[in-house]
Structure formats: C-alpha cells, structure tokens
Structure 1
Amino acid sequence: MSIADTIMGLKKIKIESFEDAACSLSKKKGEIEAFINPKSYTTKKVIEYSTPEVISDSGQTYFFSKMGDETLVFDEIIVDGTGITESSTTVIPQDVETYIQDFQDIVCDYNGDTHGTNYLKISWAKLSFQCVCKSVTVKYTLFKPDGTPLRASITLDLQKNVDWEQKAKEAGNNSPDLTHVRTVKAGDTLPLMSYQIYGDSSYYLEIARVNKLAGVNAIKPGDQIYFPPLKK
C-alpha cells in the first residue's frame, strides 16, 4: 500500500462472485477490486402500482402492486495502464486488457455448472449489494502507438437480487401462493415434492426449469429446491 493510501485509508470497491443467490461463502467463485474507485454511483428503486379502470374517471387512484427493480450503476471505474496512477490494494495487471478480462470473468462469465452467470456481492464502506450483472460497458480512451489500450473506463449496471430462501422467510410458508424452499431428502422426487407443496404433482417440469436442473431426476439429498408462487 502506498503512503498516500495509508494516510487516506483508501478502500477499494470489492466485487465477489458466488454460485448461489444467497452468496454463501462455501459457494464463492472469486473476487476482484476496482482498479480505481469511481467518483460516483447511482441507485434506483422502482415501485409498481395498479390503477382501476373507471369510466369518466376524473383522475387516477394508485394501489400498491409490488416492489420493482432496484439497481446500482457505477458510471466510471477507471483502468489505467500508464503507471501514472498506482493501484495500491490490487495487483497491478500486466496491461489494461488483462484487468478488464479478469473483471468480466468475475461479473458476467457463464458458469457451466449452474447453467447461468454467477451472483454478485458488492462491498464498499456501508454499501452492501447482492445482485446480478445487467451489463458491462468498456470504453477505451488511451492507446499506445501500436493500438494497445493504456486506459479505459468501465460502466457496470447491476440489479438487486433476493434469493428464494430469503423470500420464503419473509413470506412465510403456510400457503401454496407463497415461495417455499425445501431440502431434498432420501426418496424425494420432484413430482412428490410438487404434490406436497401445491397438492398437484404436475408442476414438476416447471420446478425443474426454475431451479435450472439438467433433468427432472437431477436432484440428490441435501439439495435445496425452490418452489415459487403458483400462477393462478
């Protein structure tokens, strides 16, 4: 760590990736720190409402429907390969492209084991945000004479993600209209578990799809299976 960083107590944004939505330490895949912290970031919460259709209505009356998307956007994470700006808490990459590739591997690489991208946890001071990556935009702004990038900026667009287990805890588990989480036991099958939750075994294909299972028999004791609310 440089003297300047020691004096200022500089902390870098940390991005961790996990195989599961709960971001369990046992499922951690990797982490990376911002090369240079952005000057600002933007958060946004969306609340969705419904409105009744009334003939000759003089104005709208809004009724709460649900909480919508919550997003976090880092507008400009600078990556500098000139050596003028020192990266103090991360290993200085060999070049800008190496760092950007490592960054993209963490935030948006496809995981063949889970058949999807990994889940992310963003940590910076009091900011803690569990999410998925919506997009990564890289803008190259400085080059060597041969075209090799010397500086770039990364825009990272993230969407908050709440794991099924947390939803189940918040919703309760007394109704088939609510989210359930069940741990597979010896002898369990998806049709049987579907019947136990919904009173109908025919939902097993949808359960396999929601859980990104390779097949309806691809479960084993100890696995956690998510049962979302029924669509009436």
Structure 2
Amino acid sequence: MPEKLTITAYKDYNYTDSTGQFEVLVNPSNYDTNQSINYAEEQALGSPGSEPRFQNIPSEECKLTLIFDGTGIIASPPASLKGKSVPEQIDAFLKVTSDYSGNIHSPPPLELVWSDFTFKGILADMKVNYNIFKPDGTPVRAEVDVTFKTASSTQESLLQAKKSSPDMTHIKTLKAQESMQHLCQQIYGGENYFVQVASANNLNHLRGNKVGLQLVFPPLTNK
C-alpha cells in the first residue's frame, strides 16, 4: 500500500490500463465520504401515512483537501513535483485527473489509493484557495478542495440495474385502495403484468382481492 495518497488515471471504466499517476505532496488530514438514497413518498388514497418508495442511489462522493506547496519546507516531495511552482503542481494534478480521454469522450476514471482506503470515480469538483504569496504576488501555498464521485463501466451499471425491481421477487401485502394492477405498475412499470402475478399466486380472479392479502410478484419472464 502506498504511504502517500496516489491517484491513478485509467483509459476507461474497466480500470485496467493506466494513463498516468499523481502522488500528493502531503497526505490529507482527513477525508469524507457521503452516500445518499433517494425515495419518493407515496400515499394511497385515504391513507393517513405515506410509504417511501425507493428510486435510486446516487453516486457516492469522496471529499478531501490537498496541499500544494512551493515554500521548500516539504521534505522529500514526489519526483514529479520537485522544483515545480504551485501553479505547475496544480497543472500536474489536473493533467492526470482532468485530461480529456478519447476512449470515453470525457476526463478519465480515477482510482484513489492510500493505505487501506480505495475509491474509484471521477473528479467532479475542485476549488483552489491560494493563501501564501511571495512579495511579487506569486502563490507559494494552496489548499485545493476536491470532490470525487463514483463511476463504473456500462457493464457494471447494467449488473447493478439487474438488482432493480423487475428482476427481483417481491412480496407485497394488499392495502386499502390498492389493486394488483396498481402494484404491477409500481414494480414492473406497467399494469399488464397482472396476469402473470395472478398465475404466480394461483388466483382465478383478478379483482376484488381482499385487503391484507399477501401477493408474490416474481421476476418478469417476458419483458
């Protein structure tokens, strides 16, 4: 494991062929990761409460602050940054993290590695704060706040998508003002799958199902 945070750029989202690497001057004092889950609030007609319905999981974020220094007080800087000014150091960082990749028509996928910490994604945001200067105004110290967001290949995304509602078995309890068709719309995105659901539950009638009836919604067999 590298002693300093190392950022490696790759040709595509398979994260196999490296196109460049950047080793930080000073390890960050801390880093933050953030993961949220989006729900839509759904409330059946006449119901006193609402039932959250899963929508999606946005990209995870990793936020940290990098130090770029040209005062000379940093012992043993990486060879790629040695003797470079602060603007040149930042340019070296951007060359690895932001240069346009013709393979994916966007900046490159990145892998951040530091000790046991690993994060794969893209550079999403960057804010530079210059805070020490020479008398002539040349910056010799900068703190750069960066945000990375997770990113994966189309193949990995499709594998994740197979975990979504239409390809999973669901068990639902029929509530007031609900129908099998309504639940099919929620789960499969269309009401016309109620015949498959009725068959899976050994039902010979499609209407008038009782409140509290437990129904199995199988993975779609004909999408």
TM bin (shorter chain): 0.5 to 0.7
CA distance in 1, matches of 2:104, 2:57: 27
Deviations 1:53-79 (A, max 9, x none): 3345433321323322210001x2111
Question: For residue 89 of structure 2, what is the amino acid of its counterpart?
Answer: Y
- The match for 1:151 among 141, 145, 166 is 141
Match of 2:52 in 1: 62
| Aligned CA distance change for structure 1 residues 151 and 114 (closer, same or farther; 3 Å) | same
Match of 1:79 in 2: 68
Secondary structure, counterpart of 2:42 in structure 1: coil
Secondary structure, counterpart of 1:101 in structure 2: helix
Unaligned runs of 5+ in 1: 1-8, 179-231
Alignment size in residue pairs: 165
Unaligned runs of 5+ in 2: 168-222
* Higher Rg: 2
CA distance in 2, matches of 1:40, 1:64: 32
Question: For residue 81 of structure 1, what is the amino acid of its counterpart?
Answer: G
Match of 2:96 in 1: 106
Question: For residue 14 of structure 2, what is the amino acid of its counterpart?
Answer: A
- Given that residues 12 and 103 in structure 2 are in contact (C-alpha distance below 8 angstroms), is that contact kept between their aligned partners in structure 1? no
Match of 1:126 in 2: 116
CA distance in 2, matches of 1:63, 1:42: 28
Question: For residue 133 of structure 1, what is the amino acid of its counterpart?
Answer: L
CA distance in 2, matches of 1:32, 1:132: 14
Match of 2:195 in 1: none
Q: Percent identity?
A: 27
Question: For residue 70 of structure 2, what is the amino acid of its counterpart?
Answer: G
CA distance in 1, matches of 2:76, 2:141: 13
Secondary structure, counterpart of 1:151 in structure 2: strand
- Given that residues 10 and 108 in structure 2 are in contact (C-alpha distance below 8 angstroms), is that contact kept between their aligned partners in structure 1? yes
Q: How large is the Cα RMSD of the aligned pairs?
A: 2.6
Match of 2:22 in 1: 32
Residues 44-63 of structure 1 mapped to structure 2, 5 A cutoff:
44-55=34-45, 57-63=47-53
CA distance in 2, matches of 1:144, 1:89: 23
Q: Under a length normalisation based on structure 1, what TM-score does the superposition of the two structures give?
A: 0.63
CA distance in 2, matches of 1:10, 1:168: 32
Q: Under a length normalisation based on structure 2, what TM-score does the superposition of the two structures give?
A: 0.66
Match of 1:22 in 2: 14
CA distance in 2, matches of 1:116, 1:149: 30
- Given that residues 43 and 51 in structure 2 are in contact (C-alpha distance below 8 angstroms), is that contact kept between their aligned partners in structure 1? no
How big is the shift at 1:122? 0.7
